[in-house]
Amino acid sequence: MLATTNAKKLLELRRILAAAAAAEDRAGAANAIEILGLADVPGYPEPAETESTFEGNALLKARICARSTGLPALADDSGLSVEVLNGMPGVRSARWAGPQASDDDNNELLLRQLSDVPAERRAARFVCAVALVLPDGTEHVRRGEMPGALISELRGHNGFGYDPMFVALGQERSNGELTSEEKDAISHRAQALRAIAPVLIDELATS
């Protein structure tokens, strides 16, 4: 189970799990794993993300998912850490403009907040923590980070969240302008998922 209703995250996990397994010559093991999302199971009350760290929120969501479904559960918590904002939005990234904020709302607010910040002070990084929790209580957490900087406009229509205003270190295009394959090669979420993928395969192979 991937504890999300986000179809793009589900596709991303399936892509990265397959690639990670192929890299370890374990494609057969990965093909035997069916990855479900929350839309595939009866609903349950999802927890409020009350922890102060990405790792804490990922574990919170994975624990409740595993307990509610009886299946091994993966959950991620990710967000944008902006240096000049002392690491914010951080764990509040998805709710930066309010509890019901859309990606456009969050991007517009952040652009306004940084409108007078010069380019050399716009350092930021995407952070992702992925938690794997098994029904027997076994837990694993992996983390990925993607450093870069924020630009003063939105560019591109790929990805989601703050991708159109973030340029990763070593890139000239925003995340919103990268293809899925280009983003998977460097993203924070891909790093964390690549790290957790062999753990997931090992755990399911011995369960």
Q: Tens-of-pLDDT digits for all 207 residues of the chain? A: 888 887 877 887 777 777 776 776 566 666 677 888 888 888 888 888 889 999 999 999 999 999 999 999 999 999 999 999 999 999 999 999 999 999 999 999 999 999 999 999 999 999 999 999 999 999 999 999 999 999 999 999 998 899 999 999 999 999 999 998 899 899 998 899 889 988 988 888 776
Range of the domain at 50: 7-206
Catalytic residue among 76, 77, 103, 105: 77
In a domain, 21, yes or no: yes
Q: Which of 94, 99, 76 shows the shortest CA–CA distance to 161? A: 94
Report the predicted TM-score, pTM, of the whole model to 2 decimal places.
0.89
In a domain, 1, yes or no: no
In a domain, 110, yes or no: yes
In a domain, 2, yes or no: no
The structural domain count of the chain equals: 1
Query: Would residue 77 show up in a list of annotated catalytic residues for this protein?
Result: yes
Query: What residues form DSSP beta bridges with 80?
Result: 126
For residue 134, give the CATH number of its domain. Answer: 3.90.950.10
The answer to whether the peptide bond before residue 89 is cis (omega within 30 degrees of 0) is yes
Burial class (CB within 10 angstroms; exposed 0-12, middle 13-18, buried 19+) of 100: exposed
Binding region for substrate: 4-9, 78, 160-163, 183, 188-189
